[in-house]
Amino acid sequence: MFPRLPRSAGRARIRFIRQAFEWEVPIDSAETGLILLSELVTNACRHARSPRDRMIGVRVLLPTDSLLRIEVSDANSTLPTPCEATPEDESGRGLELVAALATSWGAHLRGDGYIGKTVWCELALPTPANPHG
């Protein structure tokens, strides 16, 4: 869990790097995963429109040896939609980048008594990673 603050993206990246190293995720995939994680956490911090005291949940999973899954949850129930940024826009390309880099991505309402949503993405790994370090 991270506070909904800009510095949380950096803290999430540090945790991700440690986990990717432990799982022996190939470096190119780890770098791509780092970009994906950063975009999702930054979007949650910037667009969640929930009280500042609400936390952002981050989970990085290796459901199989060849698939990395990143999940970011926040307290806002509005599902994200990619926008079309113009060349002059300084932001607004995060989900386009996620769609371009990830094998798949999506979002769903959390349910089970939880408020908000989870935005997730998956990245196929070229060689099996070791979830048992």
Residue 87 has pLDDT above 80, yes or no: no
Give backbone dihedrals phi and psi of 84, rounded to 5 degrees, phi first.
Answer: -95, 105
Instruction: Decide if 8 is inside a domain.
Output: yes
Predicted pLDDT of residue 99: 92
Spatial separation of the C-alpha atoms in residues 100 and 64, rounded to whole Å = 22
Over range 107-111, report the average pLDDT: 90
Averaged confidence pLDDT in the chain: 85
Q: How many domains does the chain have?
A: 1
CATH number of the domain within which 118 lies: 3.30.565.10
pLDDT digits 0-9 by tens, 30-54: 999 999 999 999 888 887 766 666 7
Domain membership of residue 25 (yes or no) is yes
- Would residue 109 count as lying in a domain? yes
Find out whether 41 and 116 touch, Cβ atoms under 8 Å: no
Range of the domain at 72: 2-124
Which of 36, 79, 44, 43 has its CA nearest to residue 60?
A: 36
pLDDT in tens, 15-36: 999 999 999 999 999 999 999 9
pLDDT at 50: 63
What is the mean predicted confidence (pLDDT) over 74-98? Answer: 74
Q: HSE-up of 56 (CA within 13 Å, CB side)?
A: 29
| Residue 133 forms part of a structural domain | no
Beta bridge pairs of residue 122:
69, 104
Residue 130 is assigned to a structural domain of this protein:
no
Number of H helices, E strands in the chain: 3, 5
Confirm whether 35 is domain-assigned: yes
